[in-house]
Amino acid sequence: MALKGVVLAGGSGSRLFPLTLVTNKHLLPVYDRPMIYYPLLTLREMGCEQVMVVVGGRSVGDVLELLHDGSDIGLNLTYRYQRGALGIAHAIGLAREFADEDPIAIVLGDNILHGPLREFADEFANGDAQAGAVLKEVPDPERFGVAEFDEIGQLVNFEEKPEHPKSNLIPIGVYLFRPSVFDVIDTLEPSARGEFEITDLLNHYLRQRSLSHTVFAGDWEDAGTIESLMESNRFASTFAGEMPIQTDHDPAEVDS
């Protein structure tokens, strides 16, 4: 069964102001390429050939001008527009027609990942779980949704930005779902901040005991703040050569 990919590249990028006053944050440079290339190449390495990019806000035309149909990077791209900041779960819901009957892999557009994900993706695509999440241990879990485990080590809950985290493991913005996810999204209620939360979606599958997870053995950065964007540039410089951009454009032909 083919695994399709979705990159979530909407949002205003308010934590990156004033850089994002003039462009979409996913077009900001991270080392030697625009940020959005990293999640796209991650999905390519996970085995996805068809990828939908969910865009929003301004500079949508610039995203299309950069990526076109995706053939330059070995992908077949389509696009959907998300109006407003309605949350990750809402953005995933926009992929209903794109997914059709196939499982989908979601990667957040400001995620910079280096490490093995293909095995987990293949196991999910060929397995029985209805949802999957990639976790990572971090020193500051209170900034994120945090995984909670019971006394025998089973994952039982995700809590959004808790004041007192119950673990250091967080979902790092890589999710997998079967098409049943769209019916689940239809049942969600917006949170106090008016968004359809990914933690609510994941917790539904935990209650159904149909969510698989893996702890990421590689390295990860969230390039969503000024500080983490700076760190992402350093981080990406250590492995960018291992994630080549397949392109038809010869840099030598570009005038300096």
Taking 60 as the threshold, does the pLDDT of residue 256 lie above it? no
Taking 50 as the threshold, does the pLDDT of residue 134 lie above it? yes
Residue type, 168: N
Q: How confident is the model at residue 244 (pLDDT cuts 50, 70, 90)?
A: confident
Q: Residue 26 and residue 24: Cα distance in Å, rounded?
A: 5
* Residue-wise burial string across 218-231, b where 16 or more C-beta atoms lie within 10 A, e elsewhere: eebbbbbeeebbee
Lowest mean pLDDT among 121-135, 147-161, 191-205, 233-247: 233-247
Q: How confident is the model at residue 143 (pLDDT cuts 50, 70, 90)?
A: confident
Query: Whole-angstrom distance between the N-terminal and C-terminal Cα of the chain?
Result: 46
Q: For residue 254, what pLDDT is reported?
A: 39
Q: Residue 106 and residue 209: Cα distance in Å, rounded?
A: 20
pLDDT over 70 for what percent of the chain? 96
pLDDT over 90 for what percent of the chain? 82
Q: Residue 147 and residue 216: Cα distance in Å, rounded?
A: 14
Instruction: Give me 252's structure tokens.
Output: 């030598």
The 10s digit of each residue's pLDDT in 176-227 is: 999 999 999 999 999 988 999 999 999 999 999 999 999 999 999 999 999 9
Asked if 110 and 26 count as a contact pair (C-beta separation under 8 A), the reply is yes
> Residue 34 pairs with which residues in a beta bridge?
29
Asked if 159 and 148 count as a contact pair (C-beta separation under 8 A), the reply is yes
Helix (H) or strand (E) holding 78: strand 76-81
Instruction: Give me 86's structure tokens.
Output: 């309605």
Taking 60 as the threshold, does the pLDDT of residue 248 lie above it? no
Q: For residue 186, what pLDDT is reported?
A: 97
Instruction: Give me 85's structure tokens.
Output: 């900041």
Can you list the domains of the chain with their CATH numbers?
4-243 (3.90.550.10)
Burial class (CB in 10 A: 0-12, 13-18, 19+), 249: exposed
Taking 80 as the threshold, does the pLDDT of residue 81 lie above it? yes
Mean of pLDDT over the chain? 93
Q: For residue 58, what pLDDT is reported?
A: 79
The 10s digit of each residue's pLDDT in 26-77 is: 999 999 999 999 999 999 999 999 999 999 987 899 999 999 999 999 999 9
